[in-house]
Structure 1
């Protein structure tokens, strides 16, 4: 995955309380080849009208929205099934960070494993940001993972945020869990050598 230290980019507000993973990517698409990109499946059904055409009123279908790398979403985003494809769809669409009052637990974990930064902010801050983004399409937000700070547009200020230390280090370096483990191979080998020396029967 790509390293993430600091991203400054336009943001889009996608409303929808308790938006589940089936809304993020319908289940019928999760067998598709990831190499061909999951971005075309992102919000597939809810961003289209009854005729199957893109709804011009859906936030990500509006002019300029393709530049967004940050989404503001509503509480409990990513609830429902544990499908990792929901994160793939967001990542393949170029989304690097999500801002919300809260996220589904498994979705939150999957996001961290794939370098997608979930930023939790108080509900009142998210509500004020939603109003600002609605009135000011293309407003820019900075998510600074290294500093643990998100800077909002207008007069909404800067706010601290945090993610687990292991995930933070991995995302800053652009490494997945296996690659992070491999960075400790010298210590692992030294431990195994000492363990076998102290317990020779383990090496039989």
Structure 2
């Protein structure tokens, strides 16, 4: 049977969680009301999982999670709070929590999350999962943009001026915009493609867009 320690400064919340988990066949081995009581309770009860509230009066959940992670064999920790916020989710996971739940999740999901954590798996409710996925996607976009900016830095100023219009205008139209001949524009485009290892102006346009390079209008 999975052994759980509850950490929450709200006695009503602790009582409700204990009832929910016990009815779901989970052994609630201990309850404490603040983060500074966690270490002693873990030594006393040896839980498989700590269900940790993040906002408490003396020592918050993030600090308590970090302290547990410095131990030799820490229990698995699932962060618990009233609602999922971007920074709360990421702070908890960075500190060492394997999961994140909101308190109003249905009893079966809370119990399943605790069992999943005990089994070595992650445990994220729907809102927290979306936050994590959104951050991963955003980080990926940032990485791609930084790479595109780095690559375009290899071009001369004139090549970048011309490249910025590659996806919108013909060579003649670009020439009129940047006050060059069409043949010179073509040369700059060919040079930019060669430097960047690209084959078509469509690929160049995608790279320009990804880098956020804006044409001078």
Structure whose CA Rg is larger: 2
Query: 1 or 2, which has the higher helix percentage?
Result: 2
Q: TM-score, normalised by structure 1?
A: 0.39
Q: TM-score, normalised by structure 2?
A: 0.37
